[in-house]
């Protein structure tokens, strides 16, 4: 079973990159499941709207995950409960948090689960992601689900690696998001679980992780708040990964990164 995952979509350019390249990526890699992190998909680069969610689904996503900007656009409260294909982090605190943290799919007769988690180091307060996913994975295994993909939206490399080791042998993949910079450490842990610290971002290649550079630089220079705006000029970038999973055992067999930008033009596989 093939999975295709695209890292954080940022602003209008991120949507354009998805629309431009996802159909060809799906044609070449033939994934059974396509997942996109869309937590920065609005033109302001924070949160998601119903139109942007539908745009990602129309472009070819099966599931859209979020992160710490899930609630930045108030419109989300009007539609997140009406779909199971838009995930907010599982470990948001409280029993009445809208939306879902896990999506269950049936892929050619194989049960598949997609989980969205958020880290706690240098992030807004959430419940313990380790405890939350431990409980859920136990439930999924009891229900016969072995193919499990985790989008871990977290700041630090240490927390992401710790989560991957914690879940090794219990899930098919742990792929990190949030930092917007693709890491060079794709691997299969103990011949069982695929891991990538961060999938990177899909959006403007210029600026600072999707934002115009000058306000960011001024914040560092002055230690004062500055309004960040999405970069709208220059070239785009698309980052993500493709992984192959044994549908019977849930074990990952292969993972490779995808990077498309001016220096890495896309070449068909």
Catalytic residue, from 69, 100, 178, 180: name it.
Answer: 69
What are 53's two structure tokens?
């969610």
What are 259's two structure tokens?
């990077």
Please state the separation of Cα 108 from the chain's center in Å.
23
| 100 catalytic residue (yes or no) | no
Long-range (24+ apart) CB contacts under 8 A made by 47-53 are 47/71, 47/72, 47/73, 47/76, 48/73, 48/76, 48/86, 49/73, 49/75, 49/76, 50/75, 50/76, 50/78, 50/79, 52/15, 53/79, 53/83, 53/86
Q: Per-residue DSSP letters for 26-45?
A: HHHH--SEEEEE-TB-STTS
Positions annotated as catalytic residues are 69
């Amino acid at each position: 079973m093939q999975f295709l995952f695209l890292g954080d979509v940022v602003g209008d350019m991120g949507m354009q990159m998805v629309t431009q390249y996802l159909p060809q990526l799906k044609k070449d890699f033939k994934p059974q499941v396509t997942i996109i992190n869309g937590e920065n998909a609005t033109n302001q680069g924070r949160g998601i709207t119903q139109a942007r969610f539908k745009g990602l689904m129309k472009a070819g996503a099966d599931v859209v995950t979020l992160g710490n900007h899930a609630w930045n656009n108030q419109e989300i409260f009007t539609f997140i409960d009406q779909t199971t294909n838009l995930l907010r982090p599982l470990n948001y605190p409280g029993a009445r948090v809208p939306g879902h943290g896990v999506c269950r799919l049936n892929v050619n007769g194989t049960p598949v689960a997609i989980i969205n988690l958020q880290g706690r180091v240098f992030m807004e307060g959430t419940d313990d992601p380790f405890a939350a996913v431990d409980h859920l994975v136990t439930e999924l295994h009891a229900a016969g689900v072995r193919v499990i993909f985790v989008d871990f939206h977290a700041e630090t490399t240490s927390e992401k690696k710790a989560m991957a080791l914690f879940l090794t042998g219990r899930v098919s993949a742990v792929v990190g998001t949030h930092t917007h910079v693709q890491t060079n450490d794709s691997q299969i842990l103990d011949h069982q679980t695929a891991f990538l610290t961060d999938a990177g971002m899909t959006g403007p290649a210029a600026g600072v992780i999707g934002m115009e550079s000058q306000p960011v630089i001024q914040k560092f220079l002055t230690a004062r708040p500055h309004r960040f705006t999405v970069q709208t000029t220059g070239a785009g970038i698309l980052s993500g990964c493709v992984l192959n999973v044994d549908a019977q055992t849930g074990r990952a067999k292969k993972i490779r990164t995808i990077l498309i930008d001016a220096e890495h033009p896309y070449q068909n596989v």
